[in-house]
Amino acid sequence: MAKFDIRHTAKLANLGLSSEEEEKISRELEEILSYVNKLNEVDPDLIGVEPTSHITGLENVTRPDETSPSLTQTEVLQNSKNTHNGMFKVPAILEDL
């Protein structure tokens, strides 16, 4: 299996990792991946189980188009470090324009 590209993945997740962290997390993630890869060794025909992304057996869990009360603006913003005019304030994005 190809070596896990920790820098690429960290970049996509917008995470800054120290070189120690890179090494540690890379090792851990590789272990997890090889563990999960064990599933590829299973012959589904042999055990009679189809691959699936859900194990509950549930299907079509939906809701009717009805509204329910939302939070208040005060509640929504209460855990935010920075707000302005009822909005969340975050560092500038699109700076590279």
Partner 1 sequence: MKYQPVIGLEVHVELKTKSKMFCGCSADYFGTEPNTHVCPVCLGLPGALPVPNRQAIDWCRMIGLALNCQLASFSKFDRKNYFYPDLPKGYQISQYDIPFCDKGEIILSSDKKIGITRVHMEEDTAKLMHQLGISNFHFPKETTFPISNKEKYSLIDFNRSGVPLVEIVTEPDFENSQEVVEYLKKLQQIVRYLDVSNADMEKGDMRLEPNISVREISNLKSQISNELPKYKVEVKNINSFRFVEKAINYEIQRQGELLDKGKTPIQETRGYDEVHNRTVSQRTKEEAQDYRYFPEPDIPPIRISESQISNLKSQIPELPTEKKNRFIKDYGLREDQAFQLVETRKIADFFEEAVKIGKKFGIEATAIANIMINKRVDWSRMLPAELVEAIVKSKREDLPAMELENIISEIIKKEGSAVTNYKRGKSGSMEFLVGKVMAQTKGKGNPNQIRQKIIEKLGEKS
Q: Name the minimum Å distance from CB 51 to partner 1.
A: 11
Shorter beta-carbon distance to partner 1: residue 17 or 77: 77
What residue type is assigned to position 2 of the chain?
A
Torsion of CA 58, 59, 65, 68, to 10 degrees: 20
Q: Say whether 96 sits in a helix, a strand or coil.
A: coil
Q: Name the minimum Å distance from CB 68 to partner 1.
A: 3
Shorter beta-carbon distance to partner 1: residue 15 or 42: 15
What residue type is assigned to position 92 of the chain?
A
Site residues (vs partner 1, CB under 8 A): 8, 12-14, 53-54, 56, 58-73, 76-77, 82, 84-97
What residue type is assigned to position 3 of the chain?
K
